[in-house]
Structure 1
Amino acid sequence: MLSRAERDRKVRVVLILEGSANVVVLIAKTVVGIYTGSSAILSDALHSLTDVFNNVFAYIALRISASPPDKNHPYGHRKFETLAVFVLATLLSVIAIEIVIRAYERIGNPILPSRWGLAVMFGVLLVNIAISSWENYQAKRLNSDLLKADSKHTFSDVLTTIAVIAGWQLATHGYPIFDFILAVFVSAFVFYLAYQLFRKSIPILVDEAAVDQAKIAESIEQIDDVIKIERLRSRNIGQETFADVVVTVRPNMSTEESHNVADLIEEELYNNFGIDDVVVHVEPMRV
């Protein structure tokens, strides 16, 4: 089994390779878009620009989040990874608006056919398919949520590139409105991606409960000597889950017995709920 440091290193290598490929894809789309005047292709190029930013953000966040806990960050730095996802979602939202504005401004401009441009776009499509498949494989192999999310983002490039090629070809055959329609489609899809990233990052940033509190409480109450659960909280920090529990026990229990109860609770939450870090406070029942 890979250590966390080794896993993070391999994930960073994947991000570097993917980022390099995305730069090539970005350049190819931009050149074809400028030459042909297709707003749909230029919109897709902006989408690819966000892919490059995504790789940069993910790489930096992964480096920071891998840092060990310190005096100012006793829980570690894993939330920096989540913060990067939130920033990317904000960037995607801005790009989506920009795509629609630019597409509207270009309505009526001539759109040129190009055999070499079409060949380049099909090449880009094949590259995106290869990147998405490879990254999805690496995400499963390394058990990386970051790569899983990014592979879905890359797969969206496959769908949008197909739509963009279709809109461009329809526009060059006498249906220019389809170029604008497909640009709007790309914008809507980018908004959807932003929504997914917001939905994933915001609950972690605001410390939403990470697991079903009722199920955890029911499990803890089955442990001998636990009389009552006074407090139960959980949250995610990056890929790790933290929980703190306050329980009451018999007032005549020894320190060692109380410690054993705490150990049982920690084992229960780790084994059955996958909670990585559990803090248990044991209090005597007031009589």
Structure 2
Amino acid sequence: MGEFFKLLKEGNKPSLLAAIVNTVIAILKGLAYFFTGNVAMFAEMMHSLGDAANQFFVFIGSSLSKKAPTPRFPNGFGRVVNLVCLGAVIIVGILSYETIKEGWHHLLHPVESDPSKVWINLLVLGIAIALEMTVLYKAGKEILHDAGLKGRGLQPFTTAFANLDRAKPATKLVFMEDLVATSGGVLAFIAVILANYANLYWAEGIVSIIIGLMMFYVVGKVFLENARGAIGETDEEMLNHIAYLVADDPNIKDIQKLEVIKEGEFLHVELVAEIDKNLTVAEADDIKDQLVSLILSQRGVQDITISFDENDGIHTWKHIKERPATLPTLKKPKDL
């Protein structure tokens, strides 16, 4: 049990914050819906409930993924976070369906809300939007941190989009869900105003359907990304980066094999390289130590397996491109 709580401390912090915030928001929206019967508020309540459950499970999954490898599971638990995300999106998918169904029913049979209670909906939605933006900002900063960038001012809201693919699975999920939650809150706020001050009662049904469709978009995108992660996906950007560093070592004559596989939030690297057959075992061991030190210093790399073969004079590795400009230029082996 002690190990479990220790792992929880290493879990994804934005997902835990988002789970707590969305639980509070869901309660507030539920109370507002109970007192006003506003269908847009119902959609927002369902959305917040889905996000809270989703993000809580993601936090647990991200914590368990940090567990060290065991004799029974020698490859570690990195992909647990992908499996948990796959399970979590099922919850969001069900709630998305219920949200769209309720919105469609309200669109066909619009119900007039009590004008004297409109301030309850607007107040709750205003608080929810402010809280969701706080979580979104925090997730954006975490994305920039994952990308090795510094986020100041509005950058966590803007620059985070360009680096979304380089974020950890849990952080990416939180950012996308809270982006939809913030947008949905703004739409619901507008719908309440239109319904109560312009008599456009169908607007609440339209907004409910839009929110449900946005939730479905998150479900589809997150499902596909984590399905690839659970299977084991090559990180092409880091593969090119590591290939550049390895080939830049004058002792490496060729690369026979290089794999950079995503294991949840981490990268597993396997390298087979060719070296001069006249090198001694001690010299080859020094080259290996330098490469291990260099590659493990790259962002996200957790473990590496390196083996050598003698140079056959045939150049087989032809996949090296220019160094990605978005990745940091680290020390070469000769400088270590």
2:88 is aligned with what amino acid? L
The question of whether the paired residues in 1 share the 8 Å contact of 2:103 and 2:207 is answered with no
Deviation digits for residues 252-286 of structure 1, max 9, x if unmatched? 32221222222232234334565332211112245
What is residue 244 of structure 2 aligned with on the other side? 218
The question of whether the paired residues in 2 share the 8 Å contact of 1:28 and 1:120 is answered with no
1:100 is aligned with what amino acid? I
2:213 is aligned with what amino acid? A
What is residue 266 of structure 1 aligned with on the other side? 292
- Cα gap change, 1:116 to 1:16, in 2 (>3 Å): farther
In structure 2, distance between residues paired with 1:180 and 1:252: 76
What is residue 305 of structure 2 aligned with on the other side? 279
Task: Report % sequence identity.
Answer: 14
In structure 2, distance between residues paired with 1:54 and 1:196: 15
SS of the aligned residue for 2:134 comes to helix
What is the TM-score with the length of structure 1 in the denominator? 0.82
In structure 2, distance between residues paired with 1:241 and 1:10: 17
SS of the aligned residue for 2:191 comes to helix
1:159 aligns with 2:183: yes
Shift of 1:223: 1.5
- Cα gap change, 1:26 to 1:82, in 2 (>3 Å): same
Judge which range, 227-236 or 36-45, deviates more.
36-45
The question of whether the paired residues in 1 share the 8 Å contact of 2:33 and 2:39 is answered with yes
In structure 1, distance between residues paired with 2:231 and 2:308: 27
- Cα gap change, 1:140 to 1:29, in 2 (>3 Å): same
- Matched residue pairs, number? 283
- Cα gap change, 1:240 to 1:15, in 2 (>3 Å): closer
What is residue 243 of structure 1 aligned with on the other side? 269
In structure 1, distance between residues paired with 2:17 and 2:225: 25
Shift of 1:226: 1.8
What is residue 255 of structure 2 aligned with on the other side? 229
In structure 2, distance between residues paired with 1:136 and 1:46: 22
Shift of 1:134: 5.3
What is residue 127 of structure 2 aligned with on the other side? 126
What is residue 48 of structure 2 aligned with on the other side? 48
Segments of structure 2 that go 5 or more residues without pairing to the other structure are 147-167, 314-336
Higher share in helix: 1
In structure 1, distance between residues paired with 2:75 and 2:307: 18
In structure 1, distance between residues paired with 2:140 and 2:72: 31
1:122 is aligned with what amino acid? L
Segments of structure 1 that go 5 or more residues without pairing to the other structure are none
What is the aligned counterpart of 2:193 among 169, 174, 199?
Answer: 169
CA RMSD of aligned residues (A): 3.1
1:202 is aligned with what amino acid? A
What is residue 149 of structure 2 aligned with on the other side? none
1:92-171 correspondence to structure 2 within 5 Å: 92-106=92-106, 107-133=108-134, 136-137=137-138, 140=141, 143=145, 145=168, 146-147=170-171, 149-171=173-195
What is the TM-score with the length of structure 2 in the denominator? 0.72
Shift of 1:49: 0.9
In structure 1, distance between residues paired with 2:81 and 2:127: 29
1:230 is aligned with what amino acid? Q
SS of the aligned residue for 2:268 comes to strand
- Cα gap change, 1:191 to 1:7, in 2 (>3 Å): same
- Cα gap change, 1:108 to 1:272, in 2 (>3 Å): closer
SS of the aligned residue for 2:255 comes to strand
What is the aligned counterpart of 1:256 among 265, 270, 282?
Answer: 282
- Cα gap change, 1:149 to 1:125, in 2 (>3 Å): farther
The question of whether the paired residues in 2 share the 8 Å contact of 1:23 and 1:52 is answered with yes
What is residue 9 of structure 2 aligned with on the other side? 9
Deviation digits for residues 61-120 of structure 1, max 9, x if unmatched? 133223222122223222212222222233323322222222223331423134445334
